């Protein structure tokens, strides 16, 4: 009897222990920390999702990089074009001002006018250009020269041919016109990458590329045309190039003795 009662009591204790263990497990599973850990595990990214996110981010970054560098190149080209346009306008204004104030040939201060092969010094070979005298010289107390100066425009080889696409437009100025020895002209490099430069003199009916008052011509042309062609690196741009032209009327003309005599005779 006692043995059966002890066995019955032991089985009851085991059942109670099992029930208590199950109750403790249910309480642990129902705790907030357990639920939070389970929710965090369900919300985590998989490896495939991470790889897809990296690929999408790379594509977006590459597109932004392309747009940014495209805008940067466009800005650089625009800046270069504006700088080149500013330099070109300055050169054209200088050429126009010199030719508008040209001095007729004759006398000691302005002996000649030439279009064709000219040379800025004895050490330089002749090259196509223009040689004339103009009243654009700056007068100041530091220099004894007047406002008349000798000016030559021509193309010369660049100082660094490896970086140039053409020649340099050079303005050579001589201020001392009464020097007893040959005066070296001061060369001013105005514009680089010039492919061609042409000066034409108008007789009233046609244009001539050669004019020399020391030989056959006795007067200035009635107008002077300047053609300037810029060089370019790209072949596509060279096909659509047009020369830049200036047209300068010459109002100052020389009245010769022959014409004056003929006019006087006609009036009588």
- Give dist(CA 199, CA 118) in Å, integer: 12
pLDDT one-digit tens code per residue, 41-65 = 556 778 888 899 899 999 999 999 9
The predicted structure's pLDDT at residue 8: 57
Would you call 251 exposed, middle or buried from its count of C-beta atoms within 10 A (0-12, 13-18, 19+)? exposed
Asked whether residue 70 is domain-assigned, the answer is no
Q: How many distinct structural domains can be found in the chain? A: 1
214: in domain: yes
Q: Please count the other Cβ atoms lying within 10 Å of the Cβ belonging to residue 152.
A: 22
Helices within 101-191 (DSSP H only):
none
pLDDT of 12 strictly over 50: yes
The total of other beta-carbon atoms located within 10 Å of residue 199's CB is 27
**159 within domain boundaries:** yes
pTM of this prediction? 0.66
Q: What 3-state class would DSSP assign to 58?
A: helix
Tell me if 109 is assigned to some domain.
Answer: yes
pLDDT at residue 260 greater than cutoff 70 = no
> Cα separation of 268 and 265, whole Å?
5
Roughly how many angstroms between the first and final C-alpha of the chain, as a whole number? 178
**Is 116 domain-assigned?**
yes
- Among candidate residues 225, 196, 192, the one with its CA nearest the CA of residue 127: 196
Domain that holds residue 111: 78-257
Residue at 32 is within a domain = no
* Residue 19 forms part of a structural domain: no
Residue 73 lies in a domain: no
């Amino acid at each position: 009897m006692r043995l059966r009662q002890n066995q019955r009591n032991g089985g009851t204790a085991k059942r109670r222990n099992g029930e208590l263990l199950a109750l403790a497990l249910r309480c642990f599973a129902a705790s907030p920390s357990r639920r939070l850990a389970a929710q965090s595990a369900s919300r985590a990214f998989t490896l495939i999702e991470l790889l897809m996110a990296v690929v999408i981010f790379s594509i977006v970054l590459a597109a932004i990089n392309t747009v940014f560098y495209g805008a940067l190149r466009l800005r650089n080209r625009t800046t270069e074009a504006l700088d080149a346009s500013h330099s070109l306008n300055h050169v054209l204004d200088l050429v126009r001002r010199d030719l508008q104030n040209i001095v007729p040939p004759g006398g000691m201060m302005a002996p000649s006018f030439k279009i064709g092969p000219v040379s800025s010094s004895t050490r330089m070979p002749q090259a196509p250009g223009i040689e004339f005298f103009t009243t654009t010289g700056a007068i100041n107390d530091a220099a004894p020269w007047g406002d008349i100066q000798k000016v030559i425009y021509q193309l010369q080889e660049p100082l660094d041919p490896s970086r140039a696409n053409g020649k340099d437009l050079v303005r050579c100025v001589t201020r001392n016109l009464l020097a007893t020895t040959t005066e070296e002209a001061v060369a001013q490099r105005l514009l680089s990458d010039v492919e061609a430069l042409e000066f034409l003199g108008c007789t009233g009916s046609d244009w001539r590329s050669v004019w020399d008052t020391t030989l056959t011509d006795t007067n200035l042309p009635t107008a002077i045309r300047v053609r300037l062609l810029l060089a370019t690196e790209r072949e596509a741009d060279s096909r659509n190039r047009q020369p830049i032209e200036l047209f300068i009327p010459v109002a100052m003309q020389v009245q010769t003795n022959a014409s004056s005599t003929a006019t006087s005779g006609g009036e009588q």
